Amino acid sequence: MTSRLNRLAVAFLATALATLGVTVANPAPASAAMTICYNTSQAGSYASVANQAASIWNNATVNLTLSANCGSNLRIYRITGGGSYAVRTSLGNGRVYIDTQQAAQYSVLRIMTHEIGHILGLPDNYNGNCALLMSGGSAGTSCTNPYPSTAEASRVSNLFAGTFSATDRSADVFRDSWPSVLTPVS
């Protein structure tokens, strides 16, 4: 009898709360995917390149989604001179600058995906291997590969899953990934 009354009381209470518009929140998922809103208002003609790079990262990784112009976790800039570089303020947040002069020598899509890779927690890895995105300009101007390797992509997925190392999450600036190519004097 007591038990039945309790059940009735609980049912009544739930109905009353629902009537009042009170909802009981479900526990948050263990690891929610991060949405990285990128802003191309300063990217000029490179906005479409940024969109392609975002698609590449979204297809290659889990636990994060790059989404266009829903906010400004990541701002993309088109600049001329000074070199392309990335400023990471924290994992998934910062600014990327793409130099038109370097884009005339190297694949602009490779530059874009590489620099965004820094925002996503990857360091440079100048080993000359074109199969790696983070080898940057060390792979030469003929390397146009804009895709992260399986290892690079899984590292990013793991970083966003919370398998962090302090270094990869920290604020940092990444410069000089694309050495200038001197035109031979004829």
Binding interface with Zn ion (CB under 5 A): 124, 136, 174, 177
Paired tokens of 48: 């479409």
Pick 29 or 81: Cβ nearer Zn ion: 81
Looking at 115, 124, 152, 168, which residue is catalytic? 115
- Could you tell me the maximum CA-CA distance found in the chain, to the nearest angstrom? 101
Least Å distance, CB 91 to Zn ion, is 16
CB-wise, 60 or 112, nearer to Zn ion? Answer: 112
Q: Which residue is nearest to Zn ion (CB)?
A: 177
One-letter identity of residue 30: A
CB nearer Zn ion, residue 7 or residue 175: 175
Residue 46, token pair as written in the block? 């490179």
Taking the C-alpha atoms of residue 29 and residue 32, their distance in angstroms, rounded to an integer, is 6
State the helix-helix crossing angle for 150-161 and 47-60, rounded to 10 degrees: 80
CA–CA separation, 76 vs 68, rounded Å? 11
Minimum Å gap between C-beta 14 and Zn ion is 55
Could you tell me the smallest distance in angstroms from the CB atom of residue 25 to Zn ion? Answer: 41
Q: Are 120 and 64 in contact (CB under 8 A)?
A: yes
Helix (H) or strand (E) holding 97: strand 93-99
Query: Given the complex with Zn ion, which of 73 and 102 has the nearer CB atom?
Result: 102
The answer to whether residue 152 is catalytic is no
CB of residue 161 to Zn ion, shortest distance in Å: 23
What are the residue numbers of the active site? 115
